[in-house]
A and B are shown apart, each in its own frame.
Chain A
């Protein structure tokens, strides 16, 4: 059935007919084409429609995933999707969008499309409702029926834009909403806390709270300091606002983290009962020494001699949060292996030095620096000296056999770089590191001969390249035991005094082969052989508890980052060769900054150190002590990295056999270097103030008490705010703000957008000036400013009103009932019109219709005329051919 949306438009045919007759009449088929074109155009304007099958409804559910939603919101969302799937008709489509800081499609209408949430996580600290609605609208195809069902508390961080308003009005997609709110009765909260951001050591700070409660209640305030429970204070809450004060005395300098938790029974929203704040305690600058056991050591004595207040902690137990580190002038790593520092701790140290302007002193020894696996780790770029491997003259040659299960690393394959997988690249890089006296063998788990490369020198890298190119060919993980035997045989036959077996397997294989964890051969096949097992993914716990894990000659490493593999291989090899620590006594020589022998220090009186780490100075660094037998090799190195300073003592800081006088001379030198690194020579305290008001942080510098011109650096002062969540290894850079003069102060402002804290640092032209106390939002921003349920509902109602929607209740259907649908015929008629125009053009240019008419007449009319003409021609056979032609012409003219 065909309908016209606007049949009255057909009346235009009347004036069109008169216009045709008057101005553009055509004869015969020409006229018919013109009339047809005009008729089709009038029909198009009338909006012709035909019956069409129902195309269903697209329902897009928009879920608020922010923290402010009730705890059951996620479960409700799942139930709602399940219900929609059960009610879905054949032509209906379902989609789901979740929003927090940004919207993410959780369920696409098209089946088989993976959700966006599989790739990115929703930041629940924000609630950008309107962005979520805009994203959901895009999922409904234009011209189809659809609706949005928004499940939210209406506490939106973004505004309704004009663009979205126009879209909502124009699309005709109704917005239905379900207002989800938390129960407010019985709610208690910490609404404000006033306390100083900075305080002096030995003084007492007052913490003035403001509690609110919807009804009287009794509870307690749990207080934690630096993550440890301090005390619990009973609290009586009246209806409305209840003030409360607590005091604490600051014993030592540093940064203190206070966490407060208000515990009230049956509180429906416990998230707004939390409050966290940082207080920086000023006093004698403190340094943090991390060593093996947290006891006194010669380096601790040196640090004390430098004039700093010293805190000694065992490296494994140290709280290396970036904010806490900000309270120390410098961090001292006393012969600490990198395995005792977590990646997060190393990140914190890097950030402390580069972005917070802190100091780092690294002291060597048999466990630290190169021997501690510092090469190729996060801390290495901070060191003022570049570590180097030992040559075969400085250590015994080594035979290393690499046993790989290439199938285990397929998931990490990346053919983009030189056509090699990360595993192949790692083996190649390791081959380049080896000395000509070393030998490398490669064994793989494969069904044929497992030996890819017998023990050979890596002088010819082409052999290594051809061996690694065979990874994966006829790979057979079940042949692992055979490959292990082959690897052990190779090592047994090796003539090198040091032997190392490097095994690369998958967690999968470890789990499926229980014997691996307790394989005594693998743990220590020979007395002079060490073993390292690197697994892809985290190995099972039982495995590290087995023989291999407990053996002193075995190391268990795991990674899930294919790019880390190259560094893991090289680090492991470095450690297996003794970690580039030369355990040999060497004499010291004092030099000036220019590298000349320091005439002020009698080098003969300097002690002999028990060993050293071979290294070369980096550009811009300087050495005060070098090896007497190799003056290009520094024993101490100092340099600047980012805003901070670093110093390396490339020898074990031990008195050893040296006399007190000798040790005293060198310890004075070293203490001076610690003082330089920790900036103890510049104890000036700037009149800085840090204040937070909601999300805005203001840092002000009182000009009446400081001469800005005398501060280090040149150019204008800048505030650098580094987020403590920044991944410095990936190049995260801090936010910079300029200071403006306001009265007697220089003021810079920042906005806190995340829950993580920031450490404001003042610098000028790249020179560090001062570090402020850490500042952070006291709790999740979703619970900082409370939005009343009525206001949230108003936001949702505004969206619904724009689109003709309303509140949705669970009794209402999700989809529209199937209805009669129409299909527009405008496109079809337009095609017909174009066809007619083409005919018309062909007629005007090439006489198409005339030719067709002529052909038709020739075929249909000619037999009749020739039948009539023929008798005339034969009537007078005496006529000549000329007369016959004249006759034919006359007859034709008559027609």
Chain B
């Protein structure tokens, strides 16, 4: 097997961008809020501050999934080709199946990430925060 377009591996650089988005936190503006809710029940004491803490926690599983997706797409971009794949311009099923497998794997991993995200529910505080 060889890479027909090895420059596609440049996409691996975006692994750093993904990791950065997972690890780095955005500095939020300080808001002065009333502290009355502290005397209420905890269930009702939902405030934007609480939402932000949950949202910005570091999730290694999610990071691994996103990095894996970028790596798979980098491999797809570099067009792995088998030696018995025929001459230039040909696109035999071995290459199609490989691309299909890589794409499916990427999608499956993304779906895992999405479902993990959705598990907190569309009505989660995360969504409400915005």
Partner-B contacts on A (CB < 8 A): 5-6, 9, 16, 19, 23-24, 26-27, 34, 37-38, 41-42, 44-45, 47, 142-145, 166-167, 169-173, 821-822, 824, 826-827, 830-831, 833-834, 837-838, 840-842, 844-847, 850-851, 853-854
CB<8 Å pairs between A and B, sample of 22 = A5-B96, A24-B115, A24-B118, A44-B99, A47-B95, A143-B4, A167-B83, A173-B87, A824-B4, A826-B99, A830-B8, A830-B76, A837-B69, A837-B110, A838-B21, A841-B22, A841-B66, A844-B113, A846-B21, A847-B55, A847-B129, A850-B127
* Contact status A837-B73, CB under 8 Å: yes
By a CB distance below 8 angstroms, the chain A residues around B118 are 24, 26
By a CB distance below 8 angstroms, the chain B residues around A38 are 107
* Contact status B11-A831, CB under 8 Å: yes
* Contact status A844-B117, CB under 8 Å: yes
Complex-state Cα separation, A19 to B114, whole angstroms: 13
B40 at the interface (CB under 8 A from A): no
By a CB distance below 8 angstroms, the chain B residues around A44 are 76, 99, 103
By a CB distance below 8 angstroms, the chain B residues around A846 are 21, 26
* Contact status A142-B99, CB under 8 Å: no
* Contact status B99-A824, CB under 8 Å: no
Shortest 3 CB-CB contacts between residues of A and residues of B: A172-B87, A170-B83, A830-B77
* Contact status B106-A822, CB under 8 Å: no
**Shortest CB distance B51–A (Å):** 10
* Contact status B114-A824, CB under 8 Å: no
Partner of B100, one of A45, A827, A853: A45
Partner of B87, one of A34, A166, A171, A851: A171
Partner of A142, one of B4, B95, B104: B4
* Contact status A41-B114, CB under 8 Å: no
* Contact status A142-B100, CB under 8 Å: no
Instruction: Please report which residues of chain B, range 79-108, place their CB below 8 angstroms from some CB of chain A when the two chains form the complex.
Output: 79, 81-91, 93, 95-96, 99-100, 103-104, 106-107
Known: A16-B107, A840-B110. 15 other contacts (CB 8 A): A6-B91, A6-B96, A9-B100, A41-B103, A47-B91, A143-B4, A824-B91, A826-B79, A827-B79, A834-B14, A834-B70, A838-B21, A841-B21, A845-B22, A847-B129
By a CB distance below 8 angstroms, the chain A residues around B127 are 850
* Contact status A170-B5, CB under 8 Å: no
Partner-A contacts on B (CB < 8 A): 2, 4-5, 7-8, 11, 14, 17-18, 21-22, 26, 55, 62, 66, 69-70, 73-74, 76-79, 81-91, 93, 95-96, 99-100, 103-104, 106-107, 110-111, 113-115, 117-118, 122, 126-127, 129-130
By a CB distance below 8 angstroms, the chain A residues around B81 are 143
* Contact status B88-A145, CB under 8 Å: yes
By a CB distance below 8 angstroms, the chain A residues around B130 are 847, 850-851, 853-854
* Contact status B22-A834, CB under 8 Å: no
Partner of A821, one of B89, B99, B107: B89
**Shortest CB distance A820–B (Å):** 9
**Shortest CB distance B6–A (Å):** 10
By a CB distance below 8 angstroms, the chain B residues around A41 are 103-104, 106-107
By a CB distance below 8 angstroms, the chain B residues around A844 are 62, 113, 117
* Contact status A845-B107, CB under 8 Å: no
By a CB distance below 8 angstroms, the chain A residues around B69 are 837
* Contact status A169-B83, CB under 8 Å: yes
By a CB distance below 8 angstroms, the chain A residues around B95 are 47
Residue of A nearest to B118 (CB): A24
**Shortest CB distance B70–A (Å):** 6
By a CB distance below 8 angstroms, the chain A residues around B96 are 5-6, 9, 45, 47
Residue of B nearest to A844 (CB): B117
Residue of A nearest to B114 (CB): A24
* Contact status A824-B79, CB under 8 Å: yes
* Contact status B91-A5, CB under 8 Å: yes
Partner of A838, one of B7, B18, B74, B113: B18
Complex-state Cα separation, A34 to B122, whole angstroms: 15
Complex-state Cα separation, A34 to B104, whole angstroms: 14
Complex-state Cα separation, A38 to B117, whole angstroms: 17
* Contact status A845-B21, CB under 8 Å: yes
By a CB distance below 8 angstroms, the chain B residues around A171 are 83, 87
Complex-state Cα separation, A827 to B5, whole angstroms: 8
Known A826-B79, A826-B99: A170·B117 in contact at CB below 8 Å: no
**Shortest CB distance B93–A (Å):** 8
By a CB distance below 8 angstroms, the chain B residues around A45 are 96, 99-100, 103
Residue of A nearest to B127 (CB): A850
Partner of A172, one of B22, B86, B99: B86
* Contact status A834-B86, CB under 8 Å: no
* Contact status A27-B73, CB under 8 Å: no
